[in-house]
Amino acid sequence: MDYLRQLELNDGWKIFHSEISTSTNSELLAYGREGGLEGSILITDHQSSGKGRLGRIWNDEPGSSLLMSILLRPKVAFDAYFFISMTLGISIVEALQDYGVDAKLKWPNDLLVGEKKLAGILAEIETGKENLLVIGVGVNLNQSTAQLAELQRPATSVVIATGRSMGLEERLDFAKRAIERFREKYDRLQSSNSRDELVKAYRRYSATIGRFVRVDFVDGESVAGNCLDITERGELMVEVDTCIRMVDSADVHHLFTIEGC
Question: What number is the average pLDDT over the span 11-28?
Answer: 95
Domain ranges of the chain: 5-203, 208-257
DSSP H helices, 45-167, are 81-97, 145-149, 158-162
What does the mean pLDDT of the chain come to? 92
What φ, ψ does residue 118 adopt, rounded to 5°? -105, -30
Residue 8 has pLDDT above 60, yes or no: yes
Within the chain, strands assigned E span 5-8, 14-18, 40-44, 65-72, 104-106, 110-113, 116-126, 132-140, 211-216, 222-230, 236-240, 243-247, 251-257
Question: What number is the average pLDDT over the span 141-155?
Answer: 91
Task: Give yes or no on whether 5-203 and 208-257 have one common fold.
Answer: no
Taking only the tens place, the pLDDT of each residue in 156-172 is 999 999 999 999 999 99
Give 208-257's CATH code, choosing from 3.20.20.70, 3.30.70.20, 1.20.1530.20, 2.30.30.100. Answer: 2.30.30.100
Taking only the tens place, the pLDDT of each residue in 192-211 is 877 899 999 999 999 999 99
CA-nearest of 43, 32, 87, 88 to 69 is: 43
Give residue 4's pLDDT band: very low, low, confident or very high (50, 70, 90). confident
Residues 250 and 252: their CA atoms lie apart, in Å, by 6
Give residue 146's pLDDT band: very low, low, confident or very high (50, 70, 90). very high
Contact between 244 and 238 (Cβ < 8 Å): yes
pLDDT of residue 50: 64
Give residue 65's pLDDT band: very low, low, confident or very high (50, 70, 90). very high
Residues 167 and 250: their CA atoms lie apart, in Å, by 35
Domain 5-203 is found in CATH 3.40.50.300: no
Give residue 108's pLDDT band: very low, low, confident or very high (50, 70, 90). very high
Of 3 and 260, more confident: 3
Question: What number is the average pLDDT over the span 41-69?
Answer: 80
Residue 87 has pLDDT above 70, yes or no: yes
Contact between 260 and 247 (Cβ < 8 Å): no
